[in-house]
Structure 1
Amino acid sequence: MRYLRLAIPVLSTTLLACSNSGQYADIDAFVAEKRAAPSGVIEPIPALQAYRAFTYTASGLRGPFTQPVDVKEIARLEASSNVKPNLEREREYLESFSIDALKMVGTVRLNKVLWALMKTPDGGVHRVKENNYLGRNHGKIMKVGDNFISVVEIVSTGGEGWVERPRSLELSSGK
């Protein structure tokens, strides 16, 4: 009995809420108008093109950031140059590394001589001064500054000639 007293008001409220008393006539007219209007044309999905894998073929060419080699300039340098590395001198430890693998990490002045501190790829730190050698291309240190080293490498031209190539290493600010 108790449930019946509660169920009667709930059911009557539900029935009244569901009645269509005409108060939504404007919404019904709008929906009917939209349904009667012609629908838009949907274009078909374009056909997909088959994927073609890209093959990189320029790996054997000169890098975009290296200077082009001028054959005439090399021939002129070979003809006018008597540059040759001293193959009989004793090689120094830092000549076993590529010059690009070495990093300048600081300087120190001992007995009025400015030494540069070079870090090798294996983590060791070595000191060098002017007239020492480093790098695989017979690189001779010409000047040691507070934040740079000037090096002149002797590089083979591919024939029997040799060319001097100046380089510099700057003080590394990172790791």
Structure 2
Amino acid sequence: MQALVPPKKFLPQSYDGLDGVEPFSIQKLSVASKQEAAQPNSALAAEMNRRREPLEAYPLDSMHMVGSMARQGVRHAILKVDSLLYYVKPGDYLGQNFGKVLKISEAEVVLREIVQDPSGEWVEKTSTLTLQEAVR
């Protein structure tokens, strides 16, 4: 039988990373999104350089579609946000993920959002707001 080898002596090391940027900080994420927006073919580039619309201040799940109407041949959706009503049409923006209204029907609003996938890439995704009955 062979004798066991004694364990190696542990030598503690000091950690020097405290002065660096925290990996999940808002600062680091905002720098990464600005770098992504600087890419000419980025889906995010055009969105970062345009003026924000009022409904982009609210998350999509706080909005409720309560109706629709046609105005001069263009369908508009009526959205309720914080007890206020807003009229939106195709091309308007809403939600906090660069949501652009693509289509409005009598029962739903279809929009394109730009979100980060798990690998950090910005991708387009389709979302819908459906007509809500008796939202209070």
Find out whether 1:96 has 2:29 as its counterpart.
Answer: no
**Higher share of residues assigned helix:** 1
* Corresponding residue number in structure 2 for 1:109: 70
TM-score, structure 1 normalization: 0.50
Cα distance, 1:109 vs structure 2: 1.1
Aligned residues: 94
RMSD: 1.7
Residue type of the partner of 2:116?
A: S
Match of residue 102 from structure 2: 142
Q: Distance in 1 between matches of 2:118 and 2:58?
A: 21
Larger radius of gyration: 1
For 1:146 and 1:105, how far apart are their aligned partners in 2? 10
**Secondary structure in 1 aligned to 2:61?**
helix
CA distance in 1, matches of 2:43, 2:50: 15
Name stretches of at least 5 consecutive residues in structure 2 with no aligned partner. 1-40
Tell me the amino acid that sits aligned with residue 153 of structure 1: E
- Secondary structure, in 3 states, of the residue corresponding to 2:43? coil
- How do residues 47-86 of structure 1 correspond to structure 2 at under 5 angstroms? 82-85=42-45, 86=47
Query: C-alpha separation between the residues in 1 aligned to 2:78 and 2:100?
Result: 15
Say yes or no: does 1:162 pair with 2:114: no
For residue 174 of structure 1, report the CA deviation from its aligned partner.
2.4
1:124 aligns with 2:70: no
Structure 2 letter corresponding to 1:151:
L
Which consecutive unaligned segments of at least 5 residues does structure 1 have? 1-80
**Correspondences of 1:21-32 after superposition (within 5 Å):** none
Q: Percent identity?
A: 32
User: For residues 90 and 127 of structure 1, do their structure 2 counterparts lie closer, same or farther at Cα, with a shift above 3 Å needed?
Assistant: same
- Measure how far apart 1:110 and its partner are: 1.0
Deviations 1:80-133 (A, max 9, x none): x9422511111111100000100000011111111000000x210000010111
Q: Secondary structure at the match of 2:50?
A: coil
| Separation of aligned partners in 2, 1:152 and 1:163 | 10
TM-score by length of 2: 0.64
